[in-house]
Chain A
Amino acid sequence: MEINTGDTAWVLASAALVLFMTPGLALFYGGMVRSKSVLNMMMMSFIALGTISVSWVLWGYSEAFGESWNGLIGNPFQHFGLDGLLGERVFGTIPAAAFVAFQSVFAIIAVALVSGAIADRAKFTAWTVFTVVWATIVYFPVAHWVFAFDGFAADKGGWIANQLKAIDFAGGTAIHINAGAAGLALAFVLGKRVGFGKDPMRPHNLTLVMIGAGILWFGWFGFNAGSALGANGTAAVAWVNTLAATGAAMLGWLVVEKSRDGHPTSLGAASGVVAGLVAITPACSALTPVGSVVLGVVAGAACAYAVGLKFRFGFDDSLDVVGVHLVGGLIGTIGVGFLGSASAPAGVDGLFYGGGVDQLWRQVVGALAVLVFSFVVTYVIGTVIQRTIGFRLETEAEVAGIDLEEHAETSYDINGLASGRFGTGSGAAVPTAATKTHEGASA
């Protein structure tokens, strides 16, 4: 195939849009925690930009899209260091490297999403190790199952995409169910925050949350419409469905809040937006715009209830990765089996459009396979990290604030009254008498 410049431009631009989602997620999560842990929360997302970028180009891409071993995992050595993918190599109508770039940012945000479940209480070094281990053992293989189609990047791809033929256009299973189940597992491994269910843990800055939600929505057009891997009709339909479902989900969440709690909240609006985006992710190529509105309303309303599950069952999924991403991902992925329409680009009728249960069971099997695999393996990874280098922060440090303990920083110096002096511990950046003299001389 020839390289199509329009397709290539759109995929590269989409990759940049999706990259921007991770800083957006950092704001979305950062505003929701208390002021003593906002920097750590944002760093948990940012560190994934470092660790996953590097692991992706070294072995992650190859593990996800290299030649398949029984549909379960790609050969991590085939394209180690992206060997053989530069130059004239073309996938579909875009350069191989453009596909590598687009999929890299999916891996980054999938890992970052998990962090919301264990806010305020994870040792940063342990989290950093976790990002690499989890990506390698859980995310890269699951991305292979879902995103590696036979004959695209390699002759043989993953089992969900090619044997099961579940529809997951942009990653409802691989990203959201995966991250949600992993978050649930880590919430169990690390346990509840000190004071969970007793102390109010109010979001410290909802304006950050709103900005973050806005950036996520913006970036998500790259996530969903970019997954068409071309500048074409499928991309445009995915774009429109992403708009329709997300708007509807926000309304759904707010209607539940207004009737149940008496007030439509800004956090509810931001959360409804994300719930809608999550739900439409697997479905955006398979639904009509009207179907997308229905899916969005259901996802928004259901997630507004699902975020209460943690109090009922007593697990501290701090920022509702389960309630929004796992539940939203399940609704979207399984929703394809009900609401899929042959008039949409995916061309498959769901149960409500006379297609019977043929697609529905495939969706259910795909969703549950990822859920169970991710939960079990993540639980094991988390437990091993906890027993070896320790995952949970010490209680005193957690109470004092993880920003100070893990990063030696505080987020806000509002009144400028924190007087002090330079220390001598870290060396390089400390002004000395000599540098002052130098400044004086040059002035």
Chain B
Amino acid sequence: MKLVTAIIKPHQLDEVKEALEAYGISGMTVSEASGYGRQRGHSEVYRGAEYTVDFVPKVRVEVLVDDIDAGSVADVILKSAQTGRIGDGKIWTVPVEDVVRVRTGERGVDAL
């Protein structure tokens, strides 16, 4: 099993969610995140004083998938999250040792 984690622009979340549902993903976890990459921060002006805000708001999407789906899910997120402008985010995939469904105690692929 694999964990696919994507950091995306907040306003791309709905598109990513719908694309993942269309692909057939049965669940996901979404959380608010802050950070920067090559985009760096942005500047804001309050009463004429300009501040550089380093950490910009992002959304983190996490999806647990079977090994064979991992590549495709990353592609689905890539296509739906991409705007082509700076700050689109990152996607990474890591192996997962075990998954347990809390309600039933099912383990492994059955718990996805």
Instruction: Determine if chain A interacts with chain B.
Output: yes
Contact A265–B51 (Cβ < 8 Å): no
A104 CB to closest chain B CB, in angstroms?
A: 32
| B44 at interface by CB-CB < 8 Å | yes
Check A304–B51 contact: CB distance below 8 A: no
Interchain CA distance A262-B48 in the complex, whole Å: 10
State how many angstroms separate the Cβ of B54 from the closest Cβ of chain A.
9
* Contact yes or no, A307 B52, CB < 8 A: no
B44 and A261 form a contact (CB under 8 A) = no
Interface pair A202/B46, CB less than 8 Å apart: yes
A200 near B45 with CB under 8 A, answer no
Distance, CA A202 to CA B50, complexed state (A): 10
Q: Does A320 contact B (CB under 8 A)?
A: yes
- Considering only residues 240-286 of chain A, those with a C-beta below 8 Å from chain B are 257, 260-263, 265, 267-268, 271
Sample 12 A-B pairs with CB under 8 A, ordered by A number: A200-B52, A257-B45, A257-B48, A261-B50, A265-B46, A265-B47, A268-B47, A305-B48, A307-B48, A308-B48, A308-B49, A311-B49
Cβ of A345 < 8 Å from any Cβ of B?
no
Q: Which residues of A contact B51 (CB under 8 A)?
A: 200, 202
In contact, A304 and B48 (Cβ under 8 angstroms): yes
Q: Give complex CA distance A161, B98 in Å.
A: 83
B53 within 8 A of A: yes
Chain B residues, Cβ within 8 Å of A260: 48
A-B contacts, CB under 8 A, total: 34
In the bound complex, residues from chain B placing their C-beta under 8 Å from that of A263 are 45
The number of chain A residues with a CB under 8 A from chain B is 19
Q: Are B45 and A320 in contact (CB under 8 A)?
A: no
Specify the chain A residue showing the minimal Cβ separation from B52.
Answer: A200
Q: Looking across the interface, which residue of chain A has its beta carbon closest to that of B53?
A: A200
Question: Which residues, 38 to 82 on B, are CB-close (under 8 Å) to A?
Answer: 44-53
Kindly state whether residue A355 has any CB partner on chain B within 8 Å.
no
Contact of A271 among B47, B49, B50 (CB under 8 A): B47
* Residues 15-55 of B contacting A (Cβ, < 8 Å): 44-53
Give the distance to chain B from A439, nearest Cβ to Cβ, in Å.
Answer: 32
Residues of A within 8 A of B48 (CB): 257, 260-261, 304-305, 307-308
B-side interface residues toward A, CB under 8 Å? Answer: 44-53
Do the beta carbons of A203 and B45 come within 8 Å of each other? Answer: no
* A267 vs B49: C-alpha distance when bound (angstroms): 12
Q: Considering only CB atoms, which chain A residue lies closest to B44 in the complex?
A: A202
Query: Which one of B45, B48, B53 has the highest number of Cβ atoms from chain A below 10 Å of its Cβ?
Result: B48
A307: contacting residue among B44, B47, B50, B53, CB under 8 A: B47
Contact yes or no, B45 A202, CB < 8 A: no
The 3 A-B pairs with the shortest beta carbon distances in the complex, nearest first, are: A200-B51, A307-B47, A261-B45
Please determine whether B49 and A320 come into contact, CB atoms closer than 8 angstroms: no
Q: Which residues of B contact A304 (CB under 8 A)?
A: 47-48
Q: How far is the CA of A271 from the CA of B47 in the complex (A)?
A: 8
Report the Cα distance A200→B50, complex, angstroms. Answer: 9
| Interface residues as binary, A116-130 with B (CB distance below 8 Å gives 1, 0 otherwise) | 000000000000000
Q: For A200, list chain B residues within 8 Å (CB).
A: 51-53
B30 → chain A, closest Cβ, in Å?
A: 14
- Chain A nearest Cβ from B46, distance in angstroms: 6
Q: Which residue of B lies closest to A311 (CB)?
A: B49
Which residues of B sit under 8 angstroms from A268, Cβ to Cβ? 47
Name 8 extra pairs, CB < 8 A, besides A200-B53, A261-B48.
A200-B51, A202-B44, A202-B46, A263-B45, A265-B47, A304-B47, A304-B48, A320-B47
B45 touches A265 (CB 8 A): yes
Give the distance in Å from the alpha carbon of A265 to the alpha carbon of B45 in the complex: 8
CA distance in complex: A305, B52 (Å): 21
Q: How far is the CA of A369 from the CA of B35 in the complex (A)?
A: 52
Q: How far is the CA of A172 from the CA of B44 in the complex (A)?
A: 32
Report the minimum CB–CB distance from B33 to chain A (whole Å). 14
Task: Please report the C-alpha to C-alpha distance between residue A314 and residue B51 in the assembled complex, in whole angstroms.
Answer: 17
Contacts of A305 in B (CB 8 A): 48
Q: What residues of A have a CB within 8 angstroms of the CB of B49 in the complex?
A: 308, 311
Shortest distance in angstroms between A418's beta carbon and chain B's nearest beta carbon? 17
Q: Point out the residues of chain B lying under 8 angstroms from A267, CB to CB.
A: 46-47
Chain A contacts of B47 at CB under 8 A?
265, 267-268, 271, 304, 307-308, 320, 323
Which residue of A is nearest B54, CB measured? A200
Q: Bound state CA distance, A308 and B53, in angstroms?
A: 20
Complex interface bits, A292-336 against B, C-beta within 8 A gives 1, otherwise 0: 000000000000110110010000000010010000000000000
Q: Chain B nearest CB: distance from A414 CB in Å?
A: 10
Closest residue on chain A to residue B50 by CB atoms:
A261
User: Which A residues are CB-close (under 8 A) to B46?
Assistant: 202-203, 265, 267
A431 to chain B, nearest CB (A): 31
Query: In whole angstroms, how far apart are the Cα atoms of A263 and B45 in the complex?
Result: 8
